[in-house]
C-alpha cells in the first residue's frame, strides 16, 4: 500500500514539474508584456513596475484589430471547409463501395509524406493563374482539404455498423441523407477533434500568408507581428503583449473542447 502511494506521489510530482516547465515560457511572455522596453533583457522575471499600457500601445503601433479579425476569419472558414470536405471524403472511403477505393485511399494518404514546402511553389503558381493572389480566397481554399482529416474521420466512420446504413436505405434514405443523418452524428467526436487541430494550425500559419498577401488590410496576426521589428530595433515588450492577446482564441478553444478532443482521438484509433 505504501509503495503504491509512493509511486503515485512520484508520478504526480514528475507531472507537476513537467507542467511547470511547460508553463515557464508563457509566464515569461506575460511578465515581459508588462515590462518597459528597458527591462526586457533584465534577468529579473517580474517587472519593477507593471506597465499595462503596453497592451493599448499595440493597437497604436500596428493595425492589430484588423490582423486579429483576419486570422480568426480565415481560420474559421478553413476549419469549416476542412471538416466538410474531409467528412465527405471519409464517408466515400469508409461507407461507400466502389472499384479501387482502397488504392485511391492509400495514394491519398501518401500525400502526407510530401513536405509542404515542396507544394508551395505549385500552389502559388496556381493562385496566380486563378487570380486569387492577395485575397481571402487564396488563403482559405488551398488549406481547406486535409488528408489527415480524411483519415481521422474515416476511422470514426468505420466503427459505425453497416446495418444502420442498410436500415436507412430500406427506409428510402438517399446516400446524402445517410451521410448527413447517420455518419455525421456518429463522427461528431472526430469532427470536434479535427476542428480544433485545424483552427489552431491555420490560426498560426505564417509562411503561406507571407508569400501570398501583399495588402496591409489582409495581413494575418503572424505577419502583422513581424512589424514590431523595425529599423530602430525590436519592440519586444509590445511583441509579447500582442502575443499574449493572440493566443487567447486557440487557448479558449482548446480549454472548452479538450474533453471532446481527447475522446475524439481515442475513439478514432479504435479501428483501422
pLDDT, residue 212, reads 93
Beta-carbon contacts of 198 under 8 Å, excluding residues fewer than 6 positions away, are 75, 78, 79, 82, 83, 146, 149
- pLDDT tens column, 77-130: 999 999 999 999 999 999 888 999 999 999 999 998 888 888 888 999 999 999
- pLDDT tens column, 90-101: 999 998 889 999
Phi-psi region of 10 (alpha: psi -120 to 50; beta: other; left: phi over 0): alpha
pLDDT, residue 272, reads 45
Domain assignment of residue 37, yes or no: no
The CATH number of the domain where 252 resides is what? Answer: 1.10.3720.10
Residue 194 has pLDDT above 50, yes or no: yes
Q: Give the helix/strand (H/E) hosting 113.
A: none
Across 250-259, average pLDDT: 85
Query: CA distances (Å), 72 to each of 42, 48, 64, 235, in order?
Result: 34, 35, 12, 24
Contact 257, 196 (CB under 8 A): yes
Based on DSSP, count helices (H) and strands (E) in the chain, helices before strands: 15, 2
Segment among 120-129, 168-177, 232-241 with least mean pLDDT: 232-241
Domain assignment of residue 48, yes or no: no
Q: Which domain holds residue 242?
A: 53-268
Counting the structural domains of the chain, the total is 1
Q: What percent of the chain has pLDDT over 70?
A: 93
Domain assignment of residue 106, yes or no: yes
Residue 264 has pLDDT above 70, yes or no: no
Cell 480565415 belongs to 74
Domain assignment of residue 187, yes or no: yes
Domain assignment of residue 40, yes or no: no
Domain assignment of residue 84, yes or no: yes
Domain assignment of residue 28, yes or no: no
Residue 241 has pLDDT above 70, yes or no: yes
Residues in the chain: 272
Crossing angle of the two packed helices 188-203 and 248-268, in degrees rounded to 10: 140
Q: What percent of the chain has pLDDT over 90?
A: 42
- pLDDT tens column, 30-50: 999 999 888 887 778 888 888
DSSP string, 35-99: S-GGGTT-S-SS-SS--TTHHHHHHHHS-HHHHHHHHHHHHHHHHHHHHHHHHHHHHHHHT---T
pLDDT, residue 7, reads 83
Segment among 3-7, 46-50, 178-182 with least mean pLDDT: 3-7
Residue 211 has pLDDT above 50, yes or no: yes
How would residue 235 be classed by pLDDT, with cut points 50, 70 and 90? confident
Phi/psi at 230 (nearest 5 deg)?
-120, 175
DSSP string, 140-199: HGGGS--HHHHHHHHHHHHTS-HHHHHHHHHTT--HHHHIIIIIHHHTHHHHHHHHHHHH
Would the pTM count as exceeding 0.85?
A: yes
Cell 469508409 belongs to 94
Beta-carbon contacts of 101 under 8 Å, excluding residues fewer than 6 positions away, are 92, 93
**198 CB-contact burial (10 Å; exposed 0-12 / middle 13-18 / buried 19+):** buried
Share the mean pLDDT of the chain: 87
Domain assignment of residue 138, yes or no: yes
Contact 215, 134 (CB under 8 A): yes
Across 12-27, average pLDDT: 89
Beta-carbon contacts of 132 under 8 Å, excluding residues fewer than 6 positions away, are 138, 141
Residue 219 to residue 246: CA distance in whole angstroms:
14
Amino acid at each position: 500500500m505504501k509503495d503504491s502511494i509512493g509511486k503515485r506521489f512520484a508520478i504526480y510530482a514528475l507531472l507537476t514539474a513537467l507542467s511547470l516547465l511547460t508553463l515557464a515560457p508563457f509566464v515569461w511572455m506575460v511578465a515581459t508584456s508588462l515590462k518597459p522596453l528597458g527591462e526586457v533583457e533584465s534577468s529579473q522575471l517580474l517587472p519593477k513596475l507593471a506597465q499595462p499600457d503596453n497592451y493599448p500601445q499595440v493597437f497604436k503601433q500596428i493595425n492589430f484589430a484588423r490582423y486579429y479579425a483576419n486570422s480568426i476569419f480565415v481560420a474559421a472558414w478553413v476549419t469549416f471547409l476542412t471538416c466538410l470536405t474531409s467528412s465527405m471524403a471519409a464517408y466515400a472511403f469508409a461507407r461507400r463501395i466502389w472499384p479501387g477505393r482502397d488504392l485511391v485511399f492509400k495514394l491519398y494518404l501518401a500525400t502526407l509524406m510530401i513536405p509542404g514546402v515542396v507544394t508551395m511553389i505549385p500552389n502559388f503558381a496556381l493562385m496566380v493563374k486563378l487570380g486569387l493572389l492577395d485575397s481571402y480566397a487564396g488563403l482559405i481554399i488551398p488549406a481547406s482539404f486535409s488528408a489527415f482529416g480524411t483519415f481521422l474521420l474515416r476511422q470514426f466512420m468505420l466503427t459505425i455498423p453497416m446495418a444502420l446504413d442498410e436500415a436507412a436505405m430500406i427506409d428510402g434514405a438517399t446516400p446524402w441523407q445517410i451521410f448527413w443523418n447517420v455518419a455525421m452524428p456518429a463522427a461528431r467526436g472526430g469532427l470536434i477533434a479535427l476542428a480544433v487541430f485545424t483552427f489552431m494550425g491555420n490560426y498560426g500559419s505564417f509562411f503561406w500568408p507571407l508569400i501570398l498577401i501583399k495588402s496591409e488590410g489582409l495581413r494575418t496576426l503572424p505577419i502583422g507581428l513581424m512589424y514590431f521589428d523595425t529599423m530602430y530595433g525590436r519592440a519586444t515588450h509590445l511583441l509579447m503583449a500582442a502575443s499574449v492577446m493572440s493566443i487567447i482564441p486557440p487557448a479558449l478553444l482548446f480549454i472548452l473542447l479538450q474533453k471532446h478532443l481527447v475522446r475524439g482521438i481515442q475513439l478514432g484509433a479504435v479501428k483501422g
